[in-house]
């Protein structure tokens, strides 16, 4: 059995006024992922969650956990996602960043903003002024307090899941 629920708890409850969410608010299951846009395992988890959404009704929350020491563009990518979010396009940028994980420098991020119809100059200014650094840091800090030490780290209804991240293992954990 790959489904393992830890005793670790999510310390910062899901908050619709601050968290980025997909899926129905009234779902019985809320999945929170602490992720890093440069992490290949997070990219794979994203694909698994897309498949999982076809099988299970859940609300999905993404929180930033950039591992800057091994992923030098992760923090800036997280801040770009927040800038896009301020322009109403967080999830579109989220998806584009994962699809283009190997191209996350400032010029790439500005290009993605334009591709999404966002104000690219605003995004560049937001990045240079580090406008969303505190927001990204708040996610990271909440992850540390919740026992996150790598990405992706997943919580089911506030309980950390410590199993494999493939479709069958996640589905088994959800059904358990």
pLDDT tens-digit profile of 5-42? 777 899 999 999 999 999 999 999 999 999 999 999 99
Residue 4 has a pLDDT of 75
- pLDDT (mean) for 122-129: 97
Domain ranges of the chain: 5-175
- Specify whether domain 5-175 bears CATH 3.40.50.300: no
pLDDT above 60: residue 131:
yes
pLDDT above 50: residue 64:
yes
- pLDDT (mean) for 118-124: 95
pLDDT above 90: residue 151:
yes
Q: Which parts of 10-138 are beta strand (E)?
A: 20-22, 30-35, 59-64
**Measuring CA to CA, how many Å separate 26 from each of 54, 66, 87, 169?**
17, 29, 25, 24
Residue 1 has a pLDDT of 44
Six-digit token pair at 118?
A: 């966002």
């Amino acid at each position: 059995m790959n489904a393992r629920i830890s005793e670790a708890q999510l310390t910062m409850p899901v908050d619709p006024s601050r968290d980025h969410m997909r899926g129905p608010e009234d779902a019985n299951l809320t999945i929170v992922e602490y992720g890093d846009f440069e992490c290949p395992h997070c990219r794979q988890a994203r694909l698994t969650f897309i498949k999982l959404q076809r099988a299970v009704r859940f609300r999905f929350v993404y929180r930033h956990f950039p591992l800057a020491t091994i992923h030098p563009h992760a923090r800036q990518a997280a801040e770009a996602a927040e800038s896009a979010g301020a322009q109403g396009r967080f999830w579109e940028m989220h998806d584009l960043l994962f699809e283009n994980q190997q191209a996350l420098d400032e010029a790439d991020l500005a290009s993605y903003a334009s591709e999404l119809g966002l104000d690219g100059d605003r995004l560049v200014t937001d990045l240079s002024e580090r406008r969303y650094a505190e927001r990204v840091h708040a996610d990271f800090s909440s992850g540390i307090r919740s026992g996150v030490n790598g990405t992706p780290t997943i919580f089911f209804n506030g309980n950390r899941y410590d199993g494999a991240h493939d479709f069958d293992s996640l589905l088994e954990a959800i059904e358990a």
